[in-house]
Amino acid sequence: MLTRRLRETGAEVVVVDNGLVGGPELGLSGVTYIDGDVLDTGSWEKALDGVDAVVHLAAIVGDPACGVDTDTAWNVNYLGTIRVAEACRRAGIRSLVFASTCSNYGFTADAEVGVWSPMAPQSVYAESKVLSEHYLLSLPRDEFFPRLLRFATIHGLSPRMRFDLAVNVMTANAVEHGRVTVHGGTQWRPFLHVEDAAAAVHLVLGDDRPAAPSIYNCGFGEENYRMDSIGKLIAEEVDGVHMEILEEHTDPRNYRVNFDPIRRELGFTPSRRVVDTAREIRDAMRAGKYSDFASPRYSNYLTAVAQRVDPVSA
């Protein structure tokens, strides 16, 4: 998504990805692809010559996927961030955009959180992002300026489709099984379409104000939802769907986030909302796509389980 957007603006793009969970969208012209690991920057560092900015997206993404092998999650997410930042500094690259997450806020008692609110990570995934942020913010800001984007939970159709994200999988289940299941329902979460996430990175890359903030919450105030209202919204878009609310909470996270600064300062406004994703996934599935949406290839957790090396047999 981001690569396409950057190409549309004429930027040359180098993508480094180790293909762990599907990898990048291949075959775009003007894009150089490197099969590389963030933990092994030495093998691809030369590619940073002449680069103006780096966007660090690579990670083991999501609480369940990180829980499969927490050592690997810490290595890739925390150590990997240190390695990428060090490589940028050696290459004299000032601008690094880091993909962080609103999951860092973890659990808040219904009040809206801002960038300086306390963080309460509930998982190795969020802890590794919080510590990565601390590391990046601790670096001297003279010749290196990391910008942290704490993304809301992403949704929407994308080239590397994920059906382990709440809105996507709930919509797919609604279409396929005629059922929307909500666990708990009273917990708040902010959501952001993947196209808008790419737009935000693009805006930040173009923001060269010397006093630009280091951290933005990345999303939209009106896209904070209680999970039961997400269920209702999807049920309204897919005919004949039954919604069930289970008391059991499978995810302790609950946070409502203030996104005013990124809108006020960078003019960041939504191009799509949760309802648009419900419609786009519904329509894609009715057109015959994604009948295999439960396949491990759409799930970071199932991919991590399939790739786990059993320590006994290793």
Residues of this chain that interact with ligand NAD (CB under 6 A) are: 17-21, 23, 37-39, 57-59, 61, 76, 80, 99, 101, 151, 153-154, 160, 162, 165, 300
**Identity of the residue, 192 or 241, whose beta carbon is nearer to ligand NAD in the bound complex:** 192
Closest separation in Å from C-beta 37 to ligand NAD: 4
Contacts 24+ apart (CB under 8 A), 113-119: 113/217, 113/255, 113/256, 113/257, 113/258, 114/217, 114/257, 114/258, 115/150, 115/213, 115/215, 115/216, 115/217, 115/261
Shortest distance, position 97 Cβ to ligand NAD, whole Å: 11
Nearer to ligand NAD, 1 or 241 (CB): 1
Residue closer to ligand NAD, measured from CB, 53 or 241: 53
Shortest reach from residue 26's CB to ligand NAD, in Å:
11
For ligand NAD, give the closer residue by CB, 193 or 241: 193
Nearer to ligand NAD, 39 or 245 (CB): 39
- What sections of the chain are H helices per DSSP? 2-8, 63-68, 70-74, 80-90, 124-138, 166-177, 194-205, 227-237, 260-266, 274-286, 300-307
Cβ-proximal residues to 37 (8 Å cutoff; 6+ apart), any chain: 18, 43
**Least distance in angstroms from the C-beta of 14 to ligand NAD:** 13
CB contact burial 131-144 (16+ within 10 A = b; e otherwise):
bbbebbeebeeeeb
Minimum distance from residue 142 beta carbon to ligand NAD (Å): 26
